[in-house]
Chain A
Amino acid sequence: MEIIDQDFEKILPIEEEPKQKILPKKIIFLGGLLLLFLLILILISLNLKQKHSFSDVFPTPTPTPTPTLIEEITNPSFYATDSAILKIEEELKKIEQELDSTDLKESSLNLPVLDWEVKF
Chain B
Amino acid sequence: MTKKIFLFLFLIFIFPFYTFAQEFNFNRAFSDYLYNLNLYRQAYQEYIPARESYLRYKTLNSKTTALEKTLKMVQLRDETMRTYLIAIKMKMAEISGISPSEQGLFNLKLDNEANWYLAHKEELSSAGTLEDLIDLAHKAEERYYQETEVLMYQALHKILLGKETTLKEKIISQIEAIRERLKEIKANGDKDVFLPERWLLETENRLLRFEEKIFSSKEAINRIGEPTLKDKAQIYKEAQLNLEEAHQYLKEANRYLKEVIREVKTADGNY
Give a binary string over B146-186; 1 marks a CB under 8 Å from any A CB, 0 the rest: 00010011001001100110010011001001100100010
Tell me which residues across on chain A come within 8 A of B21, comparing CB atoms: none
Tell me which residues across on chain A come within 8 A of B121, comparing CB atoms: none
Residue B110 interfacial (CB < 8 Å): no
- Residue of B with least CB distance to A64: B251
Assess whether B160 is in contact with A104, with CB atoms less than 8 Å apart: yes
Interface segment, one of B98-106, B136-144, B222-230: B136-144
Residue B93 interfacial (CB < 8 Å): no
Residue A45 interfacial (CB < 8 Å): no
Q: How far is the CB of A59 from chain B (nearest CB, A)?
A: 14
Residue A66 interfacial (CB < 8 Å): yes
With A25-B1, A69-B258, A84-B181 as known contacts, state yes or no: A75 contacts B141, CB within 8 Å: no
Main secondary structure of the interface of A (DSSP, over half): helix
* B: contact size bracket: 35 or more
Contacting A at CB under 8 A, from B63-119, are: 66, 70, 74, 77, 80-81, 84, 87-88, 91
Most buried by A among B27, B34, B156, B261: B261
B12 contact from A36, A99, A108, A109, Cβ within 8 A: A36
Name B's A-contacting residues (CB within 8 A).
1-2, 5-6, 8-9, 12-13, 16, 27, 30-31, 33-34, 37, 40, 44, 51, 54-55, 66, 70, 74, 77, 80-81, 84, 87-88, 91, 130, 133-134, 137-138, 140-141, 144-145, 149, 152-153, 156, 159-160, 163-164, 167, 170-171, 174, 177-178, 181, 185, 190-191, 233, 240, 243-244, 247, 250-251, 254-255, 257-259, 261-262, 264-268, 270
